[in-house]
Structure formats: C-alpha cells, structure tokens
Structure 1
Amino acid sequence: MTVQTEPAPEWLRCAGCGGTVYGKRYRRDLNVCPDCGLHGRLTAPERIERLLDEGAVPLTGGAAVAEDPLAFLDRRPYPESLAAARRATGLEDAVVGVRGTVHGHPVVAAVMDFRFFGGSMGSLAGERLTEAMETSLRERIPLLLVTASGGARMQEGALALLQMAKTSQAMGRLDEAGILTISLITDPTYGGVAASFATLSDVILAEPGARLGFAGRRVIEQTIRQRLPEGFQTAEFLAARGLVDGVVSRGALRGTLSRLLAATVPATPPERPYTLIRTGDELPPRDAWETVRLARHVDRPTTLDYIGYLLEGFQELHGDRLAADCPAIVGGLGRLGGVPVMLIGHEKGHRTADRAKRNFGMATPAGYRKSARLMRLAAKLGVPVVTLIDTPGAYPGIEAEENGQAVAIAESIRLMSALPVPIVSVITGEGGSGGALALGVADRVLALSGAVYSVISPEGCAAILWKDAAAAPQAAGALRLTTRDLLALGVIDAVVPEPPGGAHEDPGGTAELLRDALIGILGELTPLRGTELVEARRDRFRRYGLAPA
C-alpha cells in the first residue's frame, strides 16, 4: 500500500480505495486500510515486532561478501547507492535474520525489506538468507521466511542470479533434515526470490492482495502484448490455482503461525481405553441397500465436522502447488489428544450448494495431488497420517481425465504404501472404488458401523451386470459391502460403533468413540520404526485375495 500524506500529517490517503484514514488508527491496524482491507507495506523491523514474541535476537556473524564485484555504474557507483540505502533504512541489506518465538514456539526468521533496493537479492542478502537457513538446520528450529522483493539484484550480475541456487540448496538440506519451513508472501514477491526459496517452503501463506510471480505484470503484458485479467498474480488468484496454502489477513498471522509450529512439536499419544468391534459376529445383520442409504445420509458428519470434534489447533492447508485446490479433499495439521497429526479426508458438505461446490466428495486429480503433498510433508516432519474416507468415487468428468485422474490415484496408492510414518484410515460413510482406496492404504483400516466399502457403487454394478440401475438393492447385497461383510473378508481391521440410527443422530458421541480409537491405535503404531511400518503395510496388502492357509 502506498500512502500519501494529507495537509494534516496525521491523515493518510489509501492508494487502493482513495479513502482518508486516520494515521494512528492505520498504524494500530497494522497498516491495513479499515475500508478496503488493502495491506500496506511494513519494514523488516515492523514485521519482526508484529509476528514474533518480544525479545527476538538478531543473527550475528556470517561470511563477508564482495560488495561491488562488477564495479557497477549507472547514475552513480554501486557502493554509493548501497551507502545511501543503508543510511535511509538503517539496515545492512535487504534481509534481517533473527531467532525468536511465536507464542512460545521457537523459530528462526529471515525477513526481507522492500525499502532496500526493492528487496532485491544480491550476494549479501543471499548470504543472510542462507545463514538463517543454516541456523535453522543446526538448531533444528522451524524456519520462517517473509518475502518482499523485485527479484535478483542487477548491480551484482550473475552472482546475484546464483543466490537462487545457493538458497534453494539450503532449503533442500532443511527438507532432508525434516525441519518445517514456512513462507509468508508479502507484496510484491517477484523474480529470483519467487523462483527459488520463497516457493520451496512446506507451507506458503500470503497476505491479501500480495503479488507473487516470476515476471511482473508490466513485463508480461509488454512481452506477449496481451492484457492480463484483473487480480492476476494476487494471493487470491494464486489460491484459486492451488499455489498457496492460505490467504491470511495480517491480524491473523501470529495465530496461524502458532498453530503450524505447535502442530509439529513431538508428543507421545496418551494411554486411553477404546472400544472397537473386531469380528462380524459382534455386529447385527443389516440390509445392504439400507446401509448404503444410511452411509449417504445428508446429515452424516463430514471430515470438517470430525475435525471440529477431534483436533486442537487445526490449520487447513490448500492446493496441489500445480493447478488447483480441490474442495472435495481437505487436510491439514492439528493435534489429536496432544499428538501432532496430518488429517486428510473427503468432504461432501451438507447443504445442496456446498455439496455441489465440493463435487459431492468426488475428488479431482488436484485433490489427490494435494493429499499426496500433505502426506509427503507428514513424512518429512515424522507426523502420523489419519485419513477419513467418504466418497462415491473419484470425479469422472472430462477435465479430470484430461488432468490424469488415473495417474493421480495410482501415485497416491504407491506413495501411501511407502510412507514411513503411521497411517490410520477410517471409512466414515461411503467408500467408493479407487477414489476411496487412494486414501486407504494404511497400517490400520477402520470403518464406522454404518459405513460401506466397495469396488463400485451398487447403481454402477447394477447398470453393468444387471443392465438395470433399478437392481441396485440386489447389487448392494451381492457386493458384500457392509462392515459385517468387510470384517469377515478381512478388508478392514475393526469397526467403530455408531449410536442407534446412525452417526448423524449423535455426531459428538460418534466422534468421541472415533477419537479414543485413533489415539489408542496411534499409541500402538508410533513406537514402530518407519521401515517396520512400510514392510508390514506392504505385506498386509500383498496378502489380499489369497485363499486362507
């Protein structure tokens, strides 16, 4: 946000809506316009003060760099421009590194300041960024990157360009070490910064209206001679295309960061008794078609409902980092009984408009790519994965096929098979075909007693084999898709009981039984090494379909 002072210095004019803002109120609101919500720029010291707890300590030391490697001269020698920028900002360069906490959770932060050469990345800025990353690695503390940059610094030529590789390598080492990295994108973030460390973080948050891209709008329009759409490259534009995890207003950033940091603190699952049904004889016989209808009940709890009951400090993560954010799959980090987990599940919604928006729980390829991204993050952080399955199947539309639906499902199955952290899957409603299995390759597979699980929907089976969709009730019985049948077949490990009438009659009570079961099972799986989990999981699925010994 650019502000222009009115004759009275305490009044500012918003560059977004043109409204007049009282200066004290503007600063109290963290430089956010109270009328249009436009987020103005903050300096690096202001960012640190607003995001971190009091007492953040600057990172000191570091290697010296050549300050004028090209003997660059434009309107004046580069050293003179550097000296002027240092006098104007009080900063050494465009990056400030600190060690601090967010609501008590340790973090190393590298914060960019656009006032210093437009936040451009030269050798010293690249060195300060890398030093922060190496401090995070050495001390095994999560890393927070706050970006504001026009790109690599022209006055340092190819050496500035190579800072992209230098910082990206350091981010790679943090990946290998399993340390959480978070980027906060502020306006603007372009060029070499966007195309290196800024977009390599595990979690990418963006302030409202923040622009992120490799080339700026003016450069693109002049190059391709096309008018770009309104909102191009803004945080909201990127979120709709699955490129950022969330657009977070400035006032909510500390809370969001705190939840993310808290969700990665290791904890031991508490010992808690739990009730599971492990043999079909413990379940009464149920009409298959009536069970299907119960599993599809519009008021049956969804993944978001269960998240509200089960998890503390849940932070939803969005996007496949490629093309879209599929609303039929939701996922994120939270704490289950104090234990960090990555929870991922199908989301149908309840009301008609929401169910239509979420494709009735039928995920697109972007949904499975999003879930795969979150599973890989869980593996990096050593966090167990819980999946909640409730879908009639993967979305069968033209666009889904064009974007590789089969490939996305296959890759999800392969990924889960080799994930070196505990996985517990729960069929909460309808488990349909490969769209369900893509979230169901787990160490333990549970089902709520009113759930179903099948290779195809009864209607689909009836249409293919009976040549009559009206034969769906008969097909449902033939498919043996109730939990009593699934236990007998060994397809699921155990059943979580539901109250009389179904989970929709008492969502809170159902969630309590599910929470106790999940905590208990994770307590059994967590002590196992990753290699043990993978070997047992692969052996489990290798045996399906074999005749009993």
Structure 2
Amino acid sequence: MAERAGRLSARQVLALVADDFRELPGAPGEPGSDGPLGWPGYGASRVRAARRTGEQESVVCGTAHIEGTRAVLIAFEFGFLGGSLGRHTGDRLEAAYVHAREHRLPVVPLIATGGSRMQEGMLALTQLQRVARQSALVRRAGLPQTAVLRDPTTGGGWAALGAGADVVLALPGAQVGFAGSRVRPPDADPAAYTAQGQLEAGAVDAVVRPEELRRTLGLWLRLLTRPSTAAAPPPRALGAADLPATGWEAVARARSPRRPRAERYLDAYFTRRVAVRGDRCGGTGGGMLCGFGEHEGRTVAYAAQTGTATRPAGYRLAARLIRLADRLGIPVLTLVDTPGAANDAEAERQGVGAAIADLFDAVASARTPLTTLVIGEGGSGGALALAAPGNTWATPDSYFSVIAPELATAILKQPPEQVPATAGRLRIRPQDLLELGVIRGIVGHETHRAPDGSS
C-alpha cells in the first residue's frame, strides 16, 4: 500500500488520515447530461464514473478529527474522470471553504487530480478562480491550509489548491507538476515532475510516507491552530557564561567551531518541531532553518541562521515563515548567526538585495510578537534583517557589528595587525551592545533594558 497510496480512493485516503468523517452536503450534479457544451458522451462518462467509484463528483468534502484536531477535509477521487474540476466540483469546494470559515476550522486538501475538465471548457477552468478566492478568504480569516499531494497532482489543481497552501506535504512517488505527463515537452526531465523533485525545488515542505501521514498531519494541525499573544522567551545560553574582555575576543568566540549552533538551540528549546522548507521560488535552505515547534505547551515559530553566509533563498524562506506565523497569530523566535549575506555573483543574480528587503518588510510589518537571540556572529545587514526591533537579546559568546573588523580595517587602509583594535572601536561585544541600547539584554546576565530602552 505504501508504494501506491497516492492512488487510493477518496474514501480510502480519508480513512487513512482521519477519524469520524462526516460528509458535507454536495451538489448532486447532472446525471446523464452532456454538460454546458453538449459534449458527446460526457453524460454517459459521468454515469460510468459514478457507478465505478460510488461518488457523484470528483471531490468528497467533510469534517473530521485528525489526531484530535477538527478540520475540513477535501479528498479528490481520481477515479471520477481523473479527479478533474468541473462546475459542480467548484460548488462543492466553495461550500467546503465557506464551512471552514464559518466554523473556524483549518482546511486539508488531499489532492489527486489531472486538472480542469475539458468537457466543460472554460466554465471548468474558471472554477480555479472560485477556488483561489475561497482559499484567499480562508487565509484572510487566519485559518491554516495544509495540502497533501497524492498521485497525480497536476494542472490547475496543483496550482490552486496545492501550491497555494500554507504547508505542502507530498506522498512518495507522486507525480506533481503543472504539466501532466501527456502535455509536457517531450524532452522534459521527468524528475522535475515528482514529489521529490518539487521538494528539492522548494515547492514542497516534506515528503511523508503513508504510514506517517496521520501523525504528521495531526502535529502540523495542532501547532498551526494555537495562536498566542505573548512573546516567546529567549532561549538560555548554551555556550560561554562569562563576557568577552575585548571586541576581538568576542569575534573569536563567535567564530569558534565549538560554539553551539542553531540546531542545538532549537533542540533544547522545543519539545517537538516541524520544518517548513523552500522559498516557493526554486530555492531551499540558504543557511536558514524555519518551522514551528512546541515550547512550554504553546506554539512558537522559528527562523534560525546556521552560521554560514545567508543566501537569497534563506531570506525568502524566513519572510515566508514570519508572514505565515503573523497571519495565524503565532509568536516568532529568530536566531541570528551569520557572518553576513552571501555576496557572490550567483547570490546577486538570485536577488539577494530584494530578498533582504522583503525580510525587513516582513519583520517590520509583523503584528505577532517577535523575539531574537544573537547566538554567534551578527554580520551587518544580513543579520539585522532577522532581528526583532526592541526585543533582541544576545548570548555571551556572540557579537553584532555594522561590518566585519577585517573589512573595516581594509576600508580604512590600515594594516592587518590593526584588526583587533578596530574590533574594539566598533564596540561589538554583548555588553557594548547593551550599553548602546542595540539589544535588550544578555541571556544569563541579570542586567537588561526594558522595551523602551530604559535600564
């Protein structure tokens, strides 16, 4: 079953992931009718599809509990005309989204579709606009949408219900792509149209085995449906406890390979966590870890730099994470640790400046509380873009600087032996940052500043 779970029927996949499913009333369709275009044989095809599958349309919509969280589920029946979208499919989808908004429920599309139903022409294609509007209204209502991509997920169904979801999970081996196998270019790389290929391209957050799907969906739904108005507390320091004597010592500590990195901080802070991956623009990773986790019984979103130069995809991923958390009312924790933004030619071609600007905008626009801890290097604007104004903290083995001391020395046309002195003049130690009002406090030390900057 694991290999072909993507080809399970709608009822089978619902039984795989949910308990106590209750179907919502659906449009009955037009049995025997050849549809709005009078397409020869269309009515007979619908009758055969209904007899074969036991369904009256290509989607089954209802409510159920997934590991304790109630949600609206939309399960596509691929056996009914390839899971295609027609007018009455649109009726059912719209009713499901309306029910979700009225009852404040998350939406879980379980997708297996070949796209829009050609026997209904443009009337079928315009159902994508209906779906897009309903999805946007659910998004505006602050409700999460977590899609599961089955085999196949192609055409407008992928674009409107899959790729537009907040979190995108996929089953192994599923065909996923805008172009189906019969319409894509003959020289196309088939790997690009797979769940794994979409994961590597940043369009999917995780590929999940069928036997793990219920548990994974349940965790995602539980984390995404627990808003909170209180800011996340900064993590405790995991490295050195004493403060550096000089600016250059602060730099050396932050650059030490023995210093704790983001993974250790996240593991210590969260009892469980799930990752979002991909910037939805073809990039993944980029020196950033993002996701949602459970801290002291509530959900906190996180965006954490990994100690390397942060690439454009990393900034776009962090902006995506912060905007999603803001819309769901979930507080955000960011961990700053980068020598700076990547500045090679490829980073410029990928739009590093625009990506940093977008992250600045996401942080500045967020209504949900943000908390930042500088855990290592705080390299210039590439680090500042991730920092929470008025609520940034630092560990004793970190620094924050307008520029790397080596680069500042070179710009000033001074010899390399002046680098330590330049580091001191920049006042980049944690205690300097506190005195200057740049940070709110040093974790592990009692002295701190209030949000208004007073001691």
State if a TM-score over 0.5 links the two structures.
Answer: yes
Map of 1:418 onto structure 2: 365
Q: 1:345 to 1:239 in 2, by over 3 A?
A: same
Counterpart of 2:76 in structure 1: which amino acid? M
Deviation at 1:73, TM superposition (A): 3.6
- Asked if 2 retains the 8 angstrom alpha-carbon contact of 1:151 and 1:192, the reply is yes
- Asked if 1 retains the 8 angstrom alpha-carbon contact of 2:147 and 2:167, the reply is yes
Query: What does the per-residue CA deviation read over 1:288-339, in whole Å, with 9 as the maximum and x for residues that have no partner?
Result: 2122111122132222221111113311001111121124101101122112
Residue 84 of structure 1 pairs with residue 31 of structure 2: no
Map of 2:222 onto structure 1: 262
Map of 1:329 onto structure 2: 288
Structure 1 CA distance for aligned equivalents of residues 42 and 130 of structure 2? 23
Map of 1:140 onto structure 2: 104
Deviation at 1:274, TM superposition (A): 9.5
Q: 1:215 to 1:230 in 2, by over 3 A?
A: closer
Alignment RMSD (CA, Å): 2.8
Q: 1:270 to 1:324 in 2, by over 3 A?
A: closer
Structure 1 CA distance for aligned equivalents of residues 28 and 180 of structure 2? 32
Structure 1 CA distance for aligned equivalents of residues 12 and 85 of structure 2? 20
Residue 439 of structure 1 pairs with residue 386 of structure 2: yes
Map of 1:529 onto structure 2: none
**Of residues 366, 369, 387 in structure 1, which corresponds to 2:316?**
369
Map of 2:355 onto structure 1: 408
Map of 1:70 onto structure 2: 36
Map of 1:18 onto structure 2: none
Map of 2:345 onto structure 1: 398
Structure 2 CA distance for aligned equivalents of residues 236 and 491 of structure 1? 43
Map of 1:319 onto structure 2: 278
Residue 184 of structure 1 pairs with residue 143 of structure 2: no
- Asked if 2 retains the 8 angstrom alpha-carbon contact of 1:259 and 1:313, the reply is no
Give me the identity figure in percent. Answer: 35
Residue 195 of structure 1 pairs with residue 144 of structure 2: no
- Asked if 1 retains the 8 angstrom alpha-carbon contact of 2:286 and 2:313, the reply is no
Please show how residues 348-363 of structure 1 align to structure 2 within 5 Å: 348=307, 361-363=308-310
Structure 1 CA distance for aligned equivalents of residues 253 and 310 of structure 2? 21
Structure 1 CA distance for aligned equivalents of residues 122 and 404 of structure 2? 59
Q: 1:443 to 1:265 in 2, by over 3 A?
A: farther
Residue 57 of structure 1 pairs with residue 57 of structure 2: no
Q: 1:133 to 1:417 in 2, by over 3 A?
A: same
Q: 1:430 to 1:275 in 2, by over 3 A?
A: closer
Residue 487 of structure 1 pairs with residue 453 of structure 2: no
Structure 1 CA distance for aligned equivalents of residues 259 and 50 of structure 2? 61
Structure 2 CA distance for aligned equivalents of residues 302 and 276 of structure 1? 13
Counterpart of 2:192 in structure 1: which amino acid? F
Map of 1:46 onto structure 2: 12
Residue 302 of structure 1 pairs with residue 261 of structure 2: yes
SS of match in other structure, 1:374: helix
Map of 1:9 onto structure 2: none
SS of match in other structure, 2:63: strand
**Of residues 89, 92, 96 in structure 2, which corresponds to 1:128?**
92
- Asked if 2 retains the 8 angstrom alpha-carbon contact of 1:425 and 1:446, the reply is yes
Deviation at 1:377, TM superposition (A): 0.3
**Gaps in structure 2 of 5+ consecutive residues:** none
SS of match in other structure, 1:70: coil
Deviation at 1:426, TM superposition (A): 0.7
- Asked if 2 retains the 8 angstrom alpha-carbon contact of 1:314 and 1:332, the reply is yes
Counterpart of 1:458 in structure 2: which amino acid? P
SS of match in other structure, 2:185: helix
Deviation at 1:267, TM superposition (A): 6.2
Structure 2 CA distance for aligned equivalents of residues 294 and 377 of structure 1? 34
Please show how residues 466-485 of structure 1 align to structure 2 within 5 Å: 466-485=413-432
Map of 1:353 onto structure 2: none
Residue 150 of structure 1 pairs with residue 114 of structure 2: yes
- Asked if 1 retains the 8 angstrom alpha-carbon contact of 2:229 and 2:369, the reply is no
Residue 32 of structure 1 pairs with residue 2 of structure 2: yes
Structure 1 CA distance for aligned equivalents of residues 264 and 29 of structure 2? 54
- Asked if 2 retains the 8 angstrom alpha-carbon contact of 1:326 and 1:363, the reply is no
SS of match in other structure, 1:193: helix
Counterpart of 2:162 in structure 1: which amino acid? A
Map of 2:374 onto structure 1: 427
SS of match in other structure, 1:196: helix
Higher mean displacement: 234-243 or 163-172: 234-243
Residue 458 of structure 1 pairs with residue 442 of structure 2: no
Map of 1:379 onto structure 2: 326
Q: 1:78 to 1:271 in 2, by over 3 A?
A: closer
Structure 1 CA distance for aligned equivalents of residues 337 and 232 of structure 2? 26
Q: 1:65 to 1:440 in 2, by over 3 A?
A: farther
- Asked if 2 retains the 8 angstrom alpha-carbon contact of 1:389 and 1:436, the reply is yes
Structure 2 CA distance for aligned equivalents of residues 62 and 122 of structure 1? 11
Higher mean displacement: 242-251 or 425-434: 242-251
Structure 2 CA distance for aligned equivalents of residues 443 and 129 of structure 1? 44
- Asked if 2 retains the 8 angstrom alpha-carbon contact of 1:276 and 1:495, the reply is no
- Asked if 1 retains the 8 angstrom alpha-carbon contact of 2:94 and 2:130, the reply is yes
TM-score, normalised by the number of residues in structure 1: 0.77
Q: 1:285 to 1:365 in 2, by over 3 A?
A: closer
- Asked if 2 retains the 8 angstrom alpha-carbon contact of 1:269 and 1:338, the reply is no
Q: 1:386 to 1:124 in 2, by over 3 A?
A: same
SS of match in other structure, 2:224: coil
Structure 1 CA distance for aligned equivalents of residues 244 and 127 of structure 2? 66
Map of 1:172 onto structure 2: 136
TM-score, normalised by the number of residues in structure 2: 0.92
Structure 1 CA distance for aligned equivalents of residues 236 and 317 of structure 2? 31
